[in-house]
Structure 1
Amino acid sequence: MQTMTQRVTLELRRLKFESHGNCVSCKSPFTVGDTSHLGYGFDDTPLYVCDNCKDQLKETAVRHVFLQRPYTVPEPSSKLWRYMDFTKYVSLLSSRGLYFTRTDCFEDIFEGAKGLKKRKDGWDSHYLEFFRSAIRNPPDGVECKLSDSDVEEQAQKLLRDLEEGGEDHKKRTFVSCWHESEHESEAMWRLYSTFLANAVAVRTSYQSLYLSLDRDPSIAIGRIKYIDLKNSYAGVNDAFWRKRKSFEHEREVRALLSDYGTQDLGKIVRCNLEVLIEEVLVSPKAPGWFVHLVNDVNEKFGLNVKVSPSELNEVPFF
């Protein structure tokens, strides 16, 4: 078996991110526990392959045990919406970047939570047993010589570390939230712009959002899964992709990144606005001149994009 060189280029990371579930050579799907091989072919082409195709690699950069993503990726053409007041829209144009909020700043105190506090004993019991078993059963060639009390002490420490890590994770995780829908949403106008006359909705698609962020493989984009915390928990790696059932109306797709350096409450990530913004709709409460104002601001910042009145203001007949 080839020695891993650890030479992982941006192109190779993008290939793994975009082809995540399948070998790029034989197209076979990976299953949990399979080994995936990242490296370069004999013509130096980046490759992401399965065990059956690993002989196509001249150089193996890294190998991974395959795990499913904790989120599902929307279809490329899926429509995504972000509702905001006019000042935030101007900030988007001025900074030419998306604002990612640090997750401990959200109003939802369950952001990043694993479950309900009253059910924490069940969580602790499960992971204590998991840690005890892992300590008592080290990899082949390693003997566990710890006493039962030592095993218990280490397992308890690992459980404390897991909880402290969960709290700390909220301060290094940043999110940009979008609403997935084929149509404009009256409810989202109310929720995220307080139905202001000077609010706008930016429409994009999954593909446009991904491309506008320069295909950055460190930014995950996926659907939130809504779960009943009275009967289940969010997994250790799932917490920022799970929300309570009571938020299901949001149909949230989020872009998520981790930043271990910044202490700020949010960060702006540069993006290509010409790619990101497919259309701008103005609030149903906006006066007629507001469309012209948004067009003027777009022109000032060099953005050529369609600005439309809300479809909610269409006139019916009876």
Structure 2
Amino acid sequence: MQEMTHRLTTDLRRLSFENHDSCVTCDHVFQKGDTSHLGYGQNDEPLYVCNECSGNLKETAIRHYFSPRPYEIPDQETKLWRYMDFTKYVSLLSSKAIYFTRTDCFEDLFEGAKGIKKNKDRWDSHYLDFFKSAIRNPPEGYACKLSEEEIEKDAQHLLKDMEMGGESRKKRTFVSCWHESEHESEAMWRLYSSVLANAVAIRTSYKGLYESLDRDPSISIGRVEYIDLNKNYAGPNDAFWRKRKSFEHEREVRALLTDMKCKDEGKLIQCNLDILIEDVFVSPHAPEWFIHLVNDINEKYSMKIKVNKSELKEEPFF
């Protein structure tokens, strides 16, 4: 078996990110626990392959046990919306960057939570048993020589580390939230604009968002799953992709990244606005002069997209 070099180029990371679920050589669909191999072929081309195809690697960068993504990726053309105040829209155009908020700054106190506190004892009991079993049954070639008392102590320590890690992850996880829908949402206008008449929405697609961020493999984009925390938990790797059922109306697709060094409450990530913004809409309560103002701002920042009046402003007949 080749020694791993840990040489991970952007092209290799992007290949494995975009083809996460299957081997790029034989299309084998990975199952949980399979070994996936990242490396380079005879002509130094990046490869992401299964065990059967690992012989095609001239260099193995890294191999690991496959684990499914904790989120679902929308179809490429799925429509995504971002509702915002006019000032945030101007900031988007002037900075040419998407703002990612640090997750401990969200109003929702359950952001990144694994469950409800009153149910924590069941969670602790489950993972304490899991850790003790893992310590008693080490990988082949190793033997557990610890006493039951030492196993209990180590398992408690691992449980505590996992709990502390959950808290610290909130300070290094950054998110940009989008609403998935084929149509405008009156509810989203109200939720995400502090002054309804002074609000703008941009429409893009999953493909547009991903490609506008330069197909960065360190940024994950996927659907949030809404669960009943009275009956369920979010797994250790799922917490930032799960929210309570009471938020289901948001139909959120989020872009998520981790930054260990950033101490700010948010960070700007450069993007290609020509790719990102497919359409611009103004609030259904916006006066006519506001539409002209947004068009003027677009022109100032060389955006050729014409502003659309809200479709909610259409007149009915009876």
Shorter-chain TM range is over 0.9
Kindly provide the CA deviation profile for residues 277-318 of structure 1, in whole angstroms up to 9, marking residues without a partner as x. Answer: 111000000001211111110111122213100000011122
Is the 1:85–1:200 contact (alpha carbons within 8 Å) kept by the matching residues of 2? yes
Kindly provide the CA deviation profile for residues 213-239 of structure 1, in whole angstroms up to 9, marking residues without a partner as x. Answer: 011000000000000111110000000
1:43 CA displacement: 2.0
Query: Unpaired runs of 5+ in structure 1?
Result: none
Letter in 1 for 2:28: S
Q: TM-score, normalised by structure 1?
A: 0.98
3 and 276 in structure 1: CA distance in 2 versus 1, 3 angstrom threshold? same
Q: Match for residue 53 of structure 1?
A: 53
- Whole-angstrom CA distance in 2 between matches of 1:21 and 1:138: 28
Letter in 2 for 1:160: K
Q: Match for residue 154 of structure 2?
A: 154
Q: Match for residue 25 of structure 1?
A: 25
Give the 5 Å matches for 1:81-100.
81-100=81-100
Query: Unpaired runs of 5+ in structure 2?
Result: none
2:71 aligned with 1:75: no
Is the 2:85–2:195 contact (alpha carbons within 8 Å) kept by the matching residues of 1? no
Is the 2:103–2:175 contact (alpha carbons within 8 Å) kept by the matching residues of 1? yes
1:194 CA displacement: 4.2
SS in 1 for 2:280: strand
Letter in 2 for 1:106: F
- Whole-angstrom CA distance in 2 between matches of 1:269 and 1:316: 42
Q: Match for residue 243 of structure 1?
A: 243
- Whole-angstrom CA distance in 1 between matches of 2:276 and 2:176: 13
The alignment of Structure 1 onto Structure 2 pairs a total of residues equal to 318
1:42 CA displacement: 1.3
Identity of aligned residues (%): 70
SS in 1 for 2:58: strand
- Whole-angstrom CA distance in 2 between matches of 1:269 and 1:188: 24
Letter in 1 for 2:130: F
- Whole-angstrom CA distance in 1 between matches of 2:244 and 2:196: 27
- Whole-angstrom CA distance in 2 between matches of 1:283 and 1:238: 34
CA RMSD across the alignment: 0.9
- Whole-angstrom CA distance in 2 between matches of 1:126 and 1:177: 32
Give the 5 Å matches for 1:132-151.
132-151=132-151
- Whole-angstrom CA distance in 1 between matches of 2:235 and 2:143: 30
2:238 aligned with 1:266: no
Give the 5 Å matches for 1:217-232.
217-232=217-232
Is the 1:195–1:283 contact (alpha carbons within 8 Å) kept by the matching residues of 2? no
SS in 1 for 2:196: coil
Letter in 1 for 2:301: F
SS in 2 for 1:69: coil
Give the 5 Å matches for 1:174-253.
174-194=174-194, 196-253=196-253
1:147 CA displacement: 1.4
2:170 aligned with 1:173: no
Is the 2:284–2:309 contact (alpha carbons within 8 Å) kept by the matching residues of 1? yes
Is the 2:173–2:258 contact (alpha carbons within 8 Å) kept by the matching residues of 1? yes
Q: Match for residue 113 of structure 2?
A: 113
Q: TM-score, normalised by structure 2?
A: 0.98
Is the 1:137–1:144 contact (alpha carbons within 8 Å) kept by the matching residues of 2? yes
Kindly provide the CA deviation profile for residues 14-63 of structure 1, in whole angstroms up to 9, marking residues without a partner as x. Answer: 00000111111111211111111111111221111111211221221111
Which range moved further: 40-49 or 95-104?
Answer: 40-49
SS in 2 for 1:51: coil
Q: Match for residue 101 of structure 2?
A: 101
- Whole-angstrom CA distance in 2 between matches of 1:29 and 1:134: 27
1:195 CA displacement: 5.6
SS in 1 for 2:165: helix
- Whole-angstrom CA distance in 2 between matches of 1:159 and 1:278: 46
1:140 CA displacement: 2.0
1:144 CA displacement: 1.6
